[in-house]
Every structure is written in C-alpha cells, then in structure tokens.
Chains A and B, each alone.
Chain A
Amino acid sequence: MTGMEAVSGNFLLITFFMYLLATICFTVSVTGRKWRDKQGEMKGNRWGSFGFIVTLIGFIFALGYFVTRWMTAGHAPVSNMFEYTTFLGIALSLAFIILYAIYKTNVLGMFTMPIVMLIIAFASVFPSEVEPLIPALQSNWLKIHVTTTALGQGILSIGFAAGLIYLIRTLDFTKRDKKVFWLEFIMYSLISIIGFVLVRYIFSMFQYQAEFQYINETGNEAEMTYNLPPLLGPNEGEVLTSGAMEPLISMPAWLRSDDANAVVWSLGAGLILYVLLRVLFRKPVGGKIQPLLKGINPDTVDEVSYRAIAIGFPVFALGGLIFAMIWAQIAWTRFWGWDPKEVWALITFLFYAAYLHLRLSQGWHGERSAWLCVIGFVIIMFNLIFVNLVIAGLHSYA
C-alpha cells in the first residue's frame, strides 16, 4: 500500500466517524430537550445545526478520500464494488446536504446518516485495493456516467429515508397488521446489513477462509474462497481447507454460492439482532422509534420525500440512462443491449416514472407515496447488490 493510499483510507475512516457524530447530534436534536430563545419561546435546539456542520466536515473528508484515491489510482475511484458502494454512500450524504439546505429537517439527518454509514460499512467488506482499469472502463465516461448515476441514486434514496420517517411517524404500531409487518421487515432488512458487516468483521478478525474446489457453470473445475463458514456450498464442491465445515447444501452451478452463503449469514445474524431488540423493547422496533418522532409534521416529511425524488429522477435519468447509453455506444458498439444492469436501470427509471404519475395525477400522497419510496430504494439496492454479484453480466465488477 502506498502512502497516499493509506491517507485516503484514513480520510474515509474520519468521514465515517464524523457521520456517526452527526447521527448522534441529529438524534439529540429530535429527541432532546427544546431550548428557549431570548424571548423565552420554545425554539427547538441547536443540535441540528451542529449535526449539519459535522456532516459538512465529514463530507469534506469524504472528498479528501475521493481525491487522494483518484491521485493514487490515476482514475476516478468508482471502478469496483468497494469504490462504487463507498461513492454511493458519499453521494447520499451530499444529497442529504442539498435537501437539508432546502428544508432544514433534523429528523432527515437522524435517518439518513445511519443509512450512509451502513452503506460505507457495507462497502468496506469488499476488497479495497486499488485495481487497474480494464480496457472497457478506460474512458472519461467512467467518471461522468458513474458519478451522475450514484448521485441520482443518492438523491432518490433520500426519498426512501423521508418515506420511512413518514411511515414510522404515522403507522399504528398497537395493531398487528400487514403494514406494521412490512415496516418491521424493512427494519429487519436494515439490521441484516449491520449483521452482515459484523459477521464479516468477526470472521476476518480470525482470518477465516475455506477453499473449495467445484465445478463451475461452464462445467470446468475451479476454486473458490469463502470468507464465511460455508452453510451453502458450491456446485459439487470439495473442501480443500482442513478443519473447515462441510456445507449443509450445495448450490447449482449458475449461482454465485459464496455470495448466496453471505446472504444467508447476514439474514441469520440480522434475525438474531432483531429478536434481541424486540425482546429488549417489548414492542416493534418501529413502535419504539415512533414516540421520538412525535414533533415531526408528516406533511413536511411527505413533501421532502417527493421533492427528493423530483430532484433525483432527472439526475438518475441523465446518469443511469443517457450517459450510460452514450458510453455503451462507444465501448460496446451499441447504446442499448439488454444487459441485466441496463435493464434494472430502466426498471428503476420506469418505477419512479410510475411514482411521479401516481403522485401528480392520481393523488397518491402520504402513506402510499411513502411505501413507493421504500420499494424504489429496494430496487436501487437490488440493482447494486444482486445484479452486480448474482446476475453476472457486462457490469460485474467484484
């Protein structure tokens, strides 16, 4: 690792802790005591402003990470899973800064900053060495297309954060109905990402590895390294590492079994964490958060979520479709080729197009709009995680 690369990594670490600090500030600003101003009126408190300043400082360090890594690699650091996912987290924090500047809603920071941290932590489980660029990626369009798309996705994700706030604020958690179930499911999914990061770190601390020999999708023998104990083994896999456990079931050849295995681990770890929280709180996780949001006006949050999508949608369309098509025409000879990643960008676009029509023309505001924002975020995450790692196509980076 070169000196500059180490500096870059440290900047990212500082960003992470700044965002943690910002989360704390925003949480205190929402839940803490209100301050009185000179006239003795309740005017909220200053914690929100502190949170915003800390966020800005964190963002400056994130830029520092980005620039130093760019200088090390000689290309924009958005070329593999670690770099792209990290950049998505940074883009989300930038999107938050923009939306906060318009609406000054502290609760948005309380929800967005943890999501940013989660994404950056998730990114850190991927190999973070600086990789050389393969010929297909050697283009100025790499930085233009990828950064615009990530920024678009980041802004759209703010819509999710606001939608989530709306749902937690307005749902009736005393009932055990479908809505509460699905909201808890979202909370569980977010907790599963924490579970994933934790499990990966624990096993990497013990330097766990299990080598497998298996038959790959082309029918040839290949080797694969697991970083987590193999619950799911590869196709006709044979454990090469002594002492490693035998897989419980083996996967078909076309599935990336190590990724599928990681999914199972994170869902399991997430379940344990979630159950612990439920036992601790004795009520739904959302229901535990709800009282903290009493002071939030649902209509404002609703408008923030819509505004985020109205701002993010053109940015995403420009980066994820138009710039993407220009580059595809240059690198792959055709502007559109139904590669899974392309199709999922189109699906994201169509979904938010449907959202906008439903909202503007069919009057889907409030709760229904919030649920749609949640689904939109699921699509974005699906495109990031599954389409890159499981449905391998031209866009597979990792």
Chain B
Amino acid sequence: MNEVKCDCGHSNPYGTNLCQYCGKPLQDKDNKASLLDMRYEGAARRSQTYNKSIVDKIWNFFSSVKVGIWIIVLTLIASSIGTIFPQEMYIPNNVDPAEHYKDEYGIAGQMYYTLGFHNLYGSWWYMALIASLGISLIIASIDRVVPLYRALKNQRVTRNDAFLKRQRLFGRSKVEQADKTLIKAKSLLEKRKFKVREENGNLLAEKGRFSRWGPYVNHLGLIIFLSGAMLRFFPGMYVDDIVWVREGETEVIPGTDGEFFIENEQFFIELYDEDDETFGPAMERAGGQTIQNYQTNAVLYEREKTDTVGAVPELEEVKKDEIRVNHPLRFNNFALYQMDYKLNELNTMSFTLDNRETGESIGTIEIDLFDPQDEYDLGDGYKVVIDSYFPNFEFNDDGEPSTVSSIPDNPAFIFQMFSPEHPDGEYSFVGIQRNEDVFGENDYEMSFADVDTKNVTALTVRKDLTLPFIITGGVIFMIGLIQGSYWSHRRIWLKRTDREIWMAGHANKHWESLKKDFRTLAEETELIIPEDQSKKAKKER
C-alpha cells in the first residue's frame, strides 16, 4: 500500500489519521471535526486499515475492544451461573451426581445437571470463552501497542496548527515577551517533573509517558498467566494425589517414581481450651470445641541410588518437619499438605484363649489387623487358626458374612481353636460386640483382651510446575496495572506565532491534573488558561 506523505515531509504508513511528525490531520473526518480523535495518536492500526482476507477479519474481530468487553461480560455471567448450586467437586463423592442434584435442588437442580452446569468451569465452552479472552488480549494489544509506540517515538515538538487547534485544551495568549515567557514556562514545567523538549523556540512538555504502556504490560502478564494455566494439561507438569500414612509407617509418595517416602511419626489434633478467658464465650455460643491444630510429625526419606532392583529400598532421611494446615512440607517441586485424618484406627487386637469350664486362660494372641498370621501356636497342643478375617464386617445380601473394605473399621474373625481335647478344632465367630459358637457348644472361647489404635494422616501430594509462569504473569500484570492506573500521560505544547503563544494540552486521563498544570502556568506567566473545548464540541454534535 502507498505511504501517505504529509506537508511536513514525513511519510506515514497507509491508514494514518494524524501525521506522526507534526500531527496534521490527514483524513477528511479529522479536518471537519472540531476535536481530534487522539486515541492511539491517530496512528495506523492494522485492524482499522485492512479488512479483506479472512485473516484480516479474524484480526479485526479480536482486536475490537467491544468484542473484548463482550467476552469479559459473558465470562462474568457464565462464572456466576456456576455458583448457583455447588459444583460437582464440592458435592459428597459417594453419591450419584444426577440423583444428588435432583434430590437436593429439585427441578432446578436437575436442569442444572442436564445442562452440564455442575461442571461448568471445566466445560468446553467455558474453556473456549477463556481462550477467546486470551486471543483477544494478544491481538488487541499488538494491534495498538506497536503503532502507539511508533507514534510517540516519532512525535516532533513543533506541531501543525490544525493539530493544536483541535486539542481538547487549547488557548492563544497574547504575550509581550515571548522568549521570557517560554523560558519561565519551561522552568515551571520542569519543576512539575515534566520532560521539556525545545525545537525552533517551541516547547513540548511531557510527563508519565510510561503509563501509556501500563495496559499492554498488564495484558502481557495476563497472557503469561493464562498460558501458565494451560500448561497444566501437559503430562508431568501437575501432580494432585493423596497419601494415607499410619503412625509409625512409611509410605512411598505418589508421583515421585518411588524416589521419595514419607513417614508419619505421629499425628494429633489440638483443641482450644474451653475455659479460655478470651475465646471461651465464643466457643460456648458455637456449642462445641474448636480445633487449634492438625499436625503430622513427618520424616521425608529418599531412596538411595543402588543398582539392585526389587530389593527392599534403602532409605536415607532427607528432613523432618511438622506438617500443619498452612505449613506444608516442601521438597524439590513437591509439597505435602495436611488434608485429612482418621483418629484411633484399629491396629492390633489381642484375644485370650480361655477354657470355659475352668476359666483358665491358655494364652494370648495379638493380631495385626493389616497383616494377620494364619495361625498362632500357643504350645502344649493349643493353637488358634484364623479361618476367616473380615476387616470391615457386614452380612451381604445373601446373609453371608463378608467385608466392605480392607480397612479394619469393624473387624470380625472366624477362629478355629485347637486344643488337646479338640484336635480337629472348634469354630468360633468373634467380632465387635459379638462372640458366637459356630457348630454346637464349644469348650473353649476367644475372649477380647486388648486393642491398639493408631492415628492416620492424609497428605495431599502436590507438584505444580506451572507456578513459575503463574507467578511471573501475576507480577507483570500487577506492575502493568499500577503503571497504567496510578500515573497518567500528560503533554503540553507551546508554539510561538507572530504575537501569540498557542498552547494545547492532552492527557490520556485525569484531565483535572492537566488543568492544574495550566493554572500554575497562568499564575506565574503571561499565559492564559486554555479553554476546555470538549463541551463546545459536544454541543456542536
């Protein structure tokens, strides 16, 4: 395309509205308007210039701020819908979601589920919304930042009269001593932290140009943030697992390829003192005790590098730590969080073999509920064999004894008791709160003697390699936001004509501050306060 040559001699790219050198309006619409459209300095933006190919059309669509706002608003509405009822991840995980939403929330809940709103934030269309937000951020920023940068870099001090006259703040001052006035104005503006450039006796005072880059910097931060969030879907970037560890036991940490192990030395809960002077009344009103701390005293081990495969791993202690809520154990890129617990899980049970008639106790057996032996020999012809073991006992639908799980929440046994009198063994069914003879009357019985419990801790295992991207994105976003919000870009042009000094001002926002700058000039020099032409322009329209 042809370049546009301005009277001042500068060649501007095709589509330019205001000459990048002198600011002269190059298009008809600007020549007729009483105020110039100063957005993006009238530079040629790709989206405003080309609209032929499909690429142009896509580019133009996503570069539009209007489209961007629509995407924001749609995301906002969609997000709010997701909070009407709890998302699937927050409902109990032992229920059928379809049933749950229907039972809890009636027809509305059923519709919610049918429309897929129970998993809204993971739905393809929500992802598509976020993706288009990202694309819009990229395209809209590039479309503007490049021409804006060029325009601000190329701007000259001496500006075309038509440019000055059509600024929102514009005024002509008749002055006696132009030189003196300009020198005074320059020093005043410099005192107000303006950068002043001089050319042919004209002045351009500029302040806070870097704030113009704020929006693009914060958009860049958001783009990095969103890309970082996307990286989670790559394998190996993200681990979300849970490990249950009993006190005194050591478990391999999932996701570490068997490299790391965690030992639970102790898990405990601490409660606040109910008689506490400060907190007592609040706890009394709440009608319960308040937990002060959940803690696992943990030891982290690393497997020693050996060549033997399959052998029992040699573990080397890496560190000891107290894992509490808000205080995870960190190693490499992993963190272990206190997530759940189970107090007093049954661990071992002991029974005595008793002679019913004499009451004599023959001996004691201790059963590890996680690893029971097949038989316990008590000597002298006495022996106890575990015929069946039900860690979590129930009668199944057929009325047969069975187990719900392998966790010993409700252990029950069928023992076979051997004694010199009964070399074939007597059968006895023993569980919590039950002790029955299986075939006829027994001479011997198993009596419950003791139980040993342990606390179990559940630790969330988390690795998130996307965090560095998220953090970088967040930091850049925040810098950009502050840069663009707390500063403004202000320019003041002073141009000398025959007997007058023409002045014009532009600010990208906070016009009141710019007006204050002009007021200071007017107080100290012969210059007048320029008129705000925006109202006049509004009336004309």
Q: Which residues of A contact B (CB under 8 A)?
A: 1-2, 5, 72-74, 127, 129-132, 134-136, 138-139, 217, 252-254, 300, 303, 307, 310-311, 313-314, 317-318, 322, 325, 329-331, 333-335, 337-340, 343-344, 346-347, 350-351, 353-354, 357-358, 360-362, 387, 391, 393
Contacts and interface: CB of A to CB of B under 8 A. Distances in A.
B69 A358 contact: yes
Contacts of B66: 362
A311 B478 contact: no
Contacts of A322: 474, 478
B282 A139 contact: no
A220 B127 CA distance: 38
B312 interface: no
A136 B326 contact: yes
B508 to A, nearest CB: 8
A238 to B, nearest CB: 19
Interface of B: 39, 65-66, 68-69, 72-73, 75-76, 79-80, 82-83, 86-87, 89-90, 104-106, 121, 240, 272, 276-279, 281-283, 285-286, 290-294, 324-326, 328, 335, 337, 339, 460, 462, 464, 467, 470, 474, 477-478, 481-482, 485-486, 509-512
B231 to A, nearest CB: 14
Nearest to B328: A330
Nearest to B229: A336
A357 B72 contact: yes
Given A2-B277, A311-B486, A333 B337 contact: yes
Contacts of B86: 393
Given A2-B278, A314-B485, A217 B104 contact: yes
B470 A335 contact: yes
Nearest to B279: A132
B76 A131 contact: no
Given A138-B325, A343-B80, A130 B279 contact: yes
Given A333-B337, A350-B76, A354-B69, A139 B87 contact: no
Given A139-B326, A347-B76, A361-B65, A132 B276 contact: yes
A130 B281 CA distance: 8
A74 B482 CA distance: 33
* Minimum-distance CB pairs A-B, first 7: A129-B282, A135-B325, A132-B279, A361-B65, A131-B282, A340-B83, A350-B76
B278 A72 contact: yes
Contact of B68 (A132, A303, A343, A357): A357
Nearest to A336: B229
Contacts of B337: 333
Nearest to A253: B104
5 contacts: A74-B278, A127-B285, A132-B279, A303-B512, A344-B80
A262 to B, nearest CB: 18
B278 A130 contact: yes
Contacts of A340: 83
Given A127-B285, A134-B291, A310 B485 contact: yes
B83 A391 contact: yes
B514 to A, nearest CB: 12
Contacts of B82: 338, 343
B460 to A, nearest CB: 5
A338 B88 CA distance: 11
B326 A350 contact: no
Nearest to A350: B76
Contact of B79 (A2, A329, A350, A361): A350
B512 A254 contact: no
Given A135-B291, A333-B462, A73 B278 contact: yes
B65 A362 contact: yes
B510 A307 contact: yes
A391 B86 CA distance: 8
A329 B327 CA distance: 11
B282 A314 contact: no
Contacts of B339: 333
Given A343-B80, A391-B83, A127 B282 contact: yes
Given A132-B279, A357-B69, A358-B69, A387 B326 contact: no
A28 B464 CA distance: 58
A347 B337 CA distance: 29
B511 to A, nearest CB: 8
A329 B462 CA distance: 10
A354 B512 contact: no
Given A253-B104, A331-B325, A350-B79, A135 B293 contact: yes
Contacts of A127: 282, 285
